[in-house]
Amino acid sequence: MTGEKNLGKLLATLSPMLIEGEFVFCSFENARYGDYAELEPIASVSESEGLTVVISRAQADQNNLNYTLVFRGISLKVHSSLEAVGLTAALSTRLAEHGISANVIAGYYHDHVFVQSELAEKAIQALVELGSQ
């Protein structure tokens, strides 16, 4: 089953839902994909500076890891295609209008947006409004 490509349909059926818990982004120099699997990252990105992992705040605190910001994750329940054009732009533009940064990670089935923890409810409302326009 392929995902939706039509931006209008995607926006009308976003169905944003908060992911349970709080998350942080941690970076490890000289690390590579697969390292730090014991932290149970929900996402990781290999960069020239090292490995960035997105892990639960609890996991970071338990392991005395440094982080600068705390985020809540929002999953968009619409099954979006990896070829969909404009969805990330629409999301980030809407959130920017409300002073909310958007850290978007695309999975095969859904897009996930990480926003400042204290602005999560405001972000959900902004995305619901986007979908109802």
| 51 and 100 inside one domain | no
Round to whole Å and give the CA distance between 22 and 94: 22
Write down the pLDDT at residue 1: 66
Give the range of the structural domain holding residue 51, as residue numbers without chain letter.
23-69
Angle at Cα 110 formed by Cα 73 and Cα 123, nearest 5°? Answer: 35
Q: In this predicted structure, what is the pLDDT of residue 2?
A: 80
What are the residues facing 80 on neighbouring strands?
4
Residue 46 confidence (pLDDT): 94
Q: Is the pLDDT of residue 133 over 80?
A: no
- Report the sign of the C-alpha dihedral through residues 44, 47, 51, 53, in that order: negative
Q: How many domains does the chain have?
A: 2
- Residues 76-127 pLDDT 10s: 999 999 899 999 999 999 999 999 999 999 999 999 999 999 999 999 999 9
Average pLDDT of the residues in 46-57: 96
> Do residues 44 and 93 both lie within one domain?
no
Same domain? 113 vs 128: yes
Query: Considering the chain, what is the average pLDDT of its residues?
Result: 94
User: pTM for the full model?
Assistant: 0.91
